[in-house]
């Protein structure tokens, strides 16, 4: 068996000021240290280290700057009432990272080793996990291609990095319902593209529609790229609609990102015996259900957004109000249960929690 690599640590002595709860936005403040590891064709993944957080020095010809060969993940560390730090299903994120790696021709990481490195980093930065309700330490693992070369081919050099950011709510609305615009002109991806991989290009492709959306729109809802009829996802979260007593979410079809929160929501609904369906869902079906008074609620689910109720779907000049713009019962129950488990306030019947 290959010998496990030792994580070298180079700690900084002077800590940065920790933010006050009211200064916490999403992803603007970073902790004192980061994890790094390099890949070269001859050595594989090597030199794992925890070092002070600082700018990287990278060759301007590094392939990531030109062709976008990169992947990332998003997860969170939570502070429990006993002052412990815990993670939520981190194994699934590293598994998904390897799925994205495979699509982007990036060499796989050792998932167990990545989790060990993450725990070591969080252990060191535990004091950065904020305490206020609804806050957490956001974890951003990512891999970039660093070979200095302008040819279009998979890179032979990479960096795997993990940075940490104390965060508040992702949307400025917090857990209050958000308005979502249905996108008609642009598409995010198509089956066979990179939609089910977590790669920066998908997010770059989503910016134009977001920029054109009217003021007060939190995000856009993507339809499928071929028929432009079927609901796929909102760029930063998967979506669920409660129609006539059943919760429906678009089935994974090769262009939708498989969210860890999405999977947890489905498992919770099944556990509660709430009917849940993963299937093709057209926008027309949602509009008709609304017209017939059968669209009971809608919400998004994602690591950054947690559970985000949807108050309105906006299509051009049509505003379709859902549940009188209020948070629905299922969304509220899911939010309370998921965050209760994540923050160690309620029992975890699924074994989702990983102590640091
Ligand atoms: C997450 O929910 O962690 C994500 O990665 C979405 C993000 C683009 C903020």
Nearest CA to ligand 1 atom 5: 74
pLDDT digits (tens, 9 = 90+) for 163-215: 999 998 787 777 789 999 999 899 999 989 999 999 999 999 989 888 888 77
- Taking the C-alpha atoms of residue 129 and residue 344, their distance in angstroms, rounded to an integer, is 14
What pLDDT is attached to residue 172? 72
> Residues near ligand 1 with C-beta < 6 Å?
74, 203, 236, 302-304
What pLDDT is attached to residue 285? 97
Nearest CA to ligand 1 atom 4: 74
Q: Is pLDDT above 90 for 6?
A: yes
Choice among 111-115, 117-121, 234-238 with the minimum mean pLDDT: 234-238
- List of residues 6+ apart from 185 with CB closer than 8 A: 209, 212
Report the chain's mean pLDDT, rounded to a whole number.
94
What's the rounded mean pLDDT across residues 347-352? 96
What pLDDT is attached to residue 221? 95
pLDDT digits (tens, 9 = 90+) for 265-293: 999 999 999 999 999 999 999 999 999 99
Choice among 39-53, 144-158, 302-316 with the minimum mean pLDDT: 302-316
Q: Is pLDDT above 70 for 310?
A: yes
- Taking the C-alpha atoms of residue 191 and residue 19, their distance in angstroms, rounded to an integer, is 42
Q: Give the distance (Å) from ligand 1 centre to CA of residue 237.
A: 7
What pLDDT is attached to residue 214? 75
Which of 161, 162, 171 is closest to 134 using CA atoms? 171
What pLDDT is attached to residue 350? 97
Q: Where are the beta strands (DSSP E) in 135-183?
A: 136-145, 157-167, 178-182
Q: Give the distance (Å) from ligand 1 centre to CA of residue 4.
A: 30
Q: Residue 75 CA: which ligand 1 atom is closest?
A: 3
Q: Is pLDDT above 70 for 14?
A: no
Nearest CA to ligand 1 atom 7: 236
- Taking the C-alpha atoms of residue 75 and residue 209, their distance in angstroms, rounded to an integer, is 26
Q: Is pLDDT above 60 for 1?
A: no
What pLDDT is attached to residue 171? 74
Q: Is pLDDT above 60 for 80?
A: yes
What pLDDT is attached to residue 2? 67
What's the rounded mean pLDDT across residues 109-117? 98
Can you give the pTM of this predicted structure?
Answer: 0.94
pLDDT digits (tens, 9 = 90+) for 223-267: 999 999 999 999 789 999 999 999 999 999 999 999 999 999 999
If one residue of 89, 236, 260, 262 were mutated to test the ligand 1 pocket, choosing by the most ligand atoms within 8 A of its CB, it would be: 236
- Structural domains present in the chain: 8-169 (3.30.470.10), 178-343 (3.20.10.10)
Q: What is the ipTM of this complex?
A: 0.92
Q: Is 233 helix (H, G, I), strand (E, B) or coil?
A: strand
What pLDDT is attached to residue 58? 97
Helices (H) and strands (E) in the chain, counts: 7, 18
Contact at 8 Å (CB) between 77 and 86? yes
- Taking the C-alpha atoms of residue 270 and residue 102, their distance in angstroms, rounded to an integer, is 31
The two structure tokens encoding residue 51: 């070092």
């Amino acid at each position: 068996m290959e010998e496990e690599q030792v994580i070298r640590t180079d700690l900084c002595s002077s800590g940065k000021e920790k933010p006050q709860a009211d200064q916490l936005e999403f992803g603007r403040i970073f902790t004192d240290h980061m994890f790094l590891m390099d890949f070269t064709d001859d050595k594989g993944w090597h030199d794992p280290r925890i070092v002070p957080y600082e700018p990287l020095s990278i060759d301007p010809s590094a392939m990531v700057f030109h062709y976008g060969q990169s992947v990332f993940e998003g997860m969170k560390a939570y502070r429990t009432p006993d002052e412990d730090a815990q993670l939520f299903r981190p194994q699934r994120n590293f598994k998904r990272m390897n799925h994205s790696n495979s699509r982007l021709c990036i060499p796989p990481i050792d998932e167990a080793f990545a989790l060990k490195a993450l725990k070591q980093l969080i252990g060191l930065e535990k004091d950065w996990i904020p305490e206020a309700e609804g806050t957490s330490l956001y974890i951003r693992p990512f891999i970039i291609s660093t070979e200095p070369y302008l040819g279009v081919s998979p890179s032979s050099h990479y960096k795997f990095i993990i940075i940490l950011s104390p965060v508040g709510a992702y949307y400025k609305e917090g857990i209050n319902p958000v308005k979502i615009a249905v996108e008609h002109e642009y598409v995010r991806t198509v089956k066979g593209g990179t939609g089910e991989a977590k790669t920066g290009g998908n997010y770059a492709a989503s910016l134009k529609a977001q920029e054109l959306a009217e003021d007060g729109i939190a995000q856009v809802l993507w339809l499928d790229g071929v028929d432009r009829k079927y609901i796929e996802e909102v760029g930063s979260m998967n979506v669920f609609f409660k129609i006539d007593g059943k919760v429906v979410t678009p089935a994974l079809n090769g262009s939708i990102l498989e969210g860890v929160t999405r999977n947890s929501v489905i498992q919770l609904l099944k556990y509660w015996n709430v009917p849940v369906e993963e299937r093709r869902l057209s926008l027309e079906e949602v509009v008709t259900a609304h017209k017939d008074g059968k669209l009971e609620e809608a919400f998004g689910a994602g690591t950054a957004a947690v559970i985000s109720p949807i108050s309105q779907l906006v299509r051009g000049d049509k505003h379709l109000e859902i549940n009188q713009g209020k948070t629905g019962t299922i969304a509220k129950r899911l939010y309370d249960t998921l965050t209760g488990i994540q923050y160690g306030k309620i029992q975890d019947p699924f074994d989702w929690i990983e102590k640091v």
